[in-house]
Amino acid sequence: MTHLPYILASYGLFAGLAIALTVNATLRLKTARARLALLERPSSRPPGASSSP
Amino acid sequence: MTASPSLVARTGSLFHRYANPGRFLRLAARLQPWLTGLALLFTFAGLGWGLFFAPADWQQGDSVRIMYVHVPTAILASSGYAALALCGLLSLVWRHPLADLAAVEIGPVGACITAVCLATGSLWGKPMWGTWWVWDARLTSVLVLFFLYLGHIALIRAFDDPQRGYRAAAILALAGAVDLPIIKFSVQWWNTLHQPDSITLTGAPTMSSSMLWPLGLSMLGISLGFAAIVIARLRAAVMESRVRSLLSNPRRRGDAA
């Protein structure tokens, strides 16, 4: 295969960036979901707060 | 007699139907696995086909395989900015609550995709043109697009009051959209080193179907991957915003359950 280093660098760069973006988005989503679930648990309600607006 | 609602109001109401964060989270959660699965399938199929099975070009040799990464990222770089400009319009005209969050999340992904487009173009240019970079109209206008993305990312986070950042960034996104037709038509308007488009909406493609198929698959896969990443980031942003709101107003915790 001709120009192999250039081809590998292109695919490698794309794969590295795609993995970095995916891992970042997944971790953010997981953290946000866990924090929201923790805050929305009924036991996390302050005393005296009613469930109606 | 009541006046019929204006086109702007009716369009705004259509967009606002999908602006409810709860509705968005439910819809996005259902879409996410499909987008991610199809993105992985098509990207691996397209790039694997392009890398190992598609023929080499008679002039460019195997370096033509860089095209299977470069072309989808180039198209996505422009489409991502068009999406940013659309978010700017939705934010300025209809005050769409999700458009600002979407603009915050599209910016970094679009900038990364544009950086890959520029880098892969450069990696193709060195063996083919004998240089990493030329100040050609197509290359320069894409570099301007990359700087517009960076400017948008900086501007949207530059103010203590997020609303001011959203407004300023929306104006930048709309003004910067003028670069998109310049990128598209640069190879026709100026005498450039960059080759003209091989695929157009009006004419037959000027490449063999043995190259067109893997290119189409990788384009579809990478576009779906872009959408999947943006939606995942947007879901996280909506949840983070909800967390901030609950922390700043603990009385609302009771309503959330």
Residue A52 pLDDT exceeds 50: no
For residue B15, the distance in angstroms to the closest alpha carbon of chain A comes to 25
DSSP state, residue B64: G
* B130 touching A (Cβ < 8 Å): no
Per residue in B210-225, pLDDT (tens digit) is 889 999 999 999 999 9
Nearest partner of B54 among B218, B198, B220, judged by Cα: B218
Q: Is residue B76 part of a domain?
A: yes
Q: ipTM score of the complex?
A: 0.86
What confidence tier does A42 reach under pLDDT thresholds 50, 70, 90?
confident
Number of domains composing chain B: 1
With 60 as the cut, is the pLDDT of residue A28 above it? Answer: yes
Per the domain annotation, does B202 fall within a domain? Answer: no
Residue B77: domain span = 26-51+62-194+209-241
Question: Does residue B228 carry a pLDDT above 80?
Answer: yes
Weakest-pLDDT range from B168-182, B187-201, B230-244: B187-201
The larger pLDDT score, comparing residue B6 to residue B93, is at: B93
> What is the average pLDDT across B172-190?
92
Domain for residue B4, yes or no?
no
Report the CATH number at residue B96. 1.20.120
Distance from CA of A37 to the nearest CA of B (A): 9
In a domain, B8, yes or no: no
Is it the case that residue B24 has pLDDT exceeding 70? yes
Q: Which of B62, B69, B250 sits opposite A14 (nearest CB)?
A: B69
Q: Is B254 an 8 Å CB contact of chain A?
A: yes
Helical spans, DSSP H, in chain B? 7-17, 21-48, 67-94, 97-129, 137-156, 162-176, 179-189, 209-248, 253-256
pTM equals 0.87
Residue B256: pLDDT over 50 = no
Place of tokens 């709309």: B174
- Confidence bin at B35 (pLDDT 50/70/90): very high
* Phi, then psi, of B141 in degrees rounded to 5: -70, -30
Average pLDDT, chain B: 88
Which of these, B107, B133, B106, lies nearest to B120 by C-alpha position? B133
Q: How far is CA A39 from CA A44, B25, B79, in A?
A: 6, 17, 37
What pLDDT was estimated at residue B11?
63
pLDDT for A43: 67
For residue B246, being part of any structural domain is answered with no
A25:B127 CB<8 A: no
- Look at residue B17 and tell me if it is in a domain: no
The pLDDT, as a whole number, for residue B257 is: 42
Mean pLDDT of B82-106: 92
Question: Angle at Cα B163 formed by Cα B162 and Cα B168, nearest 5°?
Answer: 100
pLDDT above 90: residue B230: yes
Work out the average pLDDT over B40-50.
95
Q: How confident is the model at residue B252 (pLDDT cuts 50, 70, 90)?
A: low
Question: Sorting pLDDT into bands at 50, 70 and 90, what band is B250?
Answer: low
Rounded to an integer, the average pLDDT of A28-52 is 75
The whole-number pLDDT of residue B10 equals 66
Mean pLDDT for the stretch of residues B75-100: 93
Q: How confident is the model at residue B122 (pLDDT cuts 50, 70, 90)?
A: very high
Residue A50 pLDDT: 46
Q: Looking at the domain assignment, is residue B234 inside a domain?
A: yes
The answer to whether residues B245 and B252 touch, using CB atoms and an 8 Å cutoff, is: yes
More confident residue, B203 or B212: B212
Q: Give a yes or no: residue B141 inside a domain.
A: yes
pLDDT on residue B17: 67
Going by C-alpha positions, the residue among B228, B217, B241, B231 that lies closest to residue B53 is: B217
Mutation pick from B57, B66, B114, B226 vs chain A, by most beta carbons of A within 10 Å, is B66
Q: Is B244 helix (H, G, I), strand (E, B) or coil?
A: helix
Among A7, A22, A39, select the one facing B246 at the smallest CB separation: A39
B31 Cα distance to chain centroid: 18
- Tell which B residues from 133 to 172 touch A, by Cβ distance under 8 Å: none
Say if residue B184's pLDDT is above 70: yes
Is the Cβ of B64 closer than 8 Å to some Cβ of chain A?
no
Residue B3, pLDDT score = 47
DSSP character string of A1-53: -TTHHHHHHHHHHHHHHHHHHHHHHHHHHHHHHHHHHHHHSGGGSPTT--S--
Confidence of residue A33 (pLDDT cuts 50, 70, 90): very high
